Amino acid sequence: MRLYGHTAVIHIVENDVCNKRTKHNCHIVHKKLEDKIVVVKHVSSGHQLADLLTKPLDKTRVDFICDKLGMYDVYVPA
């Protein structure tokens, strides 16, 4: 399994840095990293699909992310 994230997330799980803000799940992920069950890869900010749900974006960016997710507008005339 691969986990994709930005550098802060990768730092947290690879270094087992946990506090009240990161909750207890990072221990679980860190253990899976040690056991080589998961691999953490960096995703550049230009390819963060979660931006669709977390940031205000222009139409071009929304269209790009929706295309990557396989989403389409059901209201577009055929």
Give the pLDDT confidence of 10-19 residue by residue, as tens digits.
666 666 666 5
Range of the domain at 64: 45-78
Q: What is the CA radius of gyration of the chain?
A: 16
Average pLDDT, rounded, for the chain: 76
Question: What confidence tier does 23 reach under pLDDT thresholds 50, 70, 90?
Answer: low
Q: Are residues 30 and 1 in the same domain?
A: yes
- Mean pLDDT throughout 23-28? 66
Q: Are residues 31 and 64 in the same domain?
A: no
β-sheet bridge partners, residue 4: 41
Q: Are residues 19 and 57 in the same domain?
A: no
Give residue 58's pLDDT: 92
Give residue 11's pLDDT: 67
Tell which phi-psi region holds residue 47, choosing left (phi > 0), alpha (psi between -120 and 50) or beta: alpha
Q: Are residues 36 and 61 in the same domain?
A: no
Q: Are residues 35 and 65 in the same domain?
A: no
